[in-house]
Amino acid sequence: MRIKGNIRESPYPTFHITPDNHERNKTLNDIFEILLIAPVAILSIMIHECAHGYAALYMGDNTAKIRGRLTLNPIKHIDIFGLICMILFRFGWAKPVPINPMNFRNRKTGMRLVSLAGVTANMILAVLFAVLLRIFVMTDLTYLNIMLIYGIQLNIGYAVFNLMPFPPLDGSKLLATFLPRKYEYYMYKYEKYIYIVLIALIYTGVLSDIMYPIINGVYSAIMNIIISTL
């Protein structure tokens, strides 16, 4: 498939994929598309996981630091299957950062901060990519603009996915901090069974149907704000 861009005619750079008559060109363009997505996907994962670790450290837990997870070394963070899903479906996951909530100065506050740190970092990255896209949108750097669009979409998608209230995602940890202690206990006790619900929602495509309108809405809101202010 071949990626075509429309940069100059609209403040929104729009890209679509059109059929290619030659299978060889199709394969090469698919590979090239992956090469554009992979760097921003890896960066997004690293920043997300480091944000978790530094938030935990701020709240008094140095477990991530001891385990060597406060680093931008992608090998420390990447889950291969999660990275592939992020490249193909615009949402995915990484190796969870180890934390010990019992080390937090305040357990519930610490869990809230750690849970929100990753998605907040991704939203900041999405806005940063949007600003850069606004700056370069009228240039001939077509592939850079494509990469920036992927960066916006991937970071929004990663944030939205992680806010879903299903274990082991950040949203479930955040939700648990607002539950009475008894129900919080049951949520962690049965999280491996709730996890099956998440897998079923991904497999059936229901999760995508829920997420994509949210991702598109957030993407449009960010771009409208950036365009109106820059």
The residue whose two tokens read 């949203």 is 171
Can 9 be counted among the known catalytic residues? no
Q: Are 170 and 116 in contact (CB under 8 A)?
A: yes
Q: Are 164 and 207 in contact (CB under 8 A)?
A: yes
3-state secondary structure of 32: helix
Q: Are 157 and 216 in contact (CB under 8 A)?
A: no
Type and span of the H or E element at 4? strand 2-6
Rounded Cα–Cα distance for residues 112 and 141 (Å): 40
DSSP 187-201: HHHTHHHHHHHHHHH
Rounded Cα–Cα distance for residues 17 and 40 (Å): 20
Q: What are phi and psi of 2, to 5 degrees?
A: -115, 130
Neighbouring C-alpha atoms within 13 Å toward the C-beta of 222? 24
Selected catalytic residue, list 9, 23, 49, 191 = 49
In terms of Cβ atoms closer than 10 Å to its own Cβ (0-12, 13-18, 19+), residue 153 is buried
Active site residues: 49
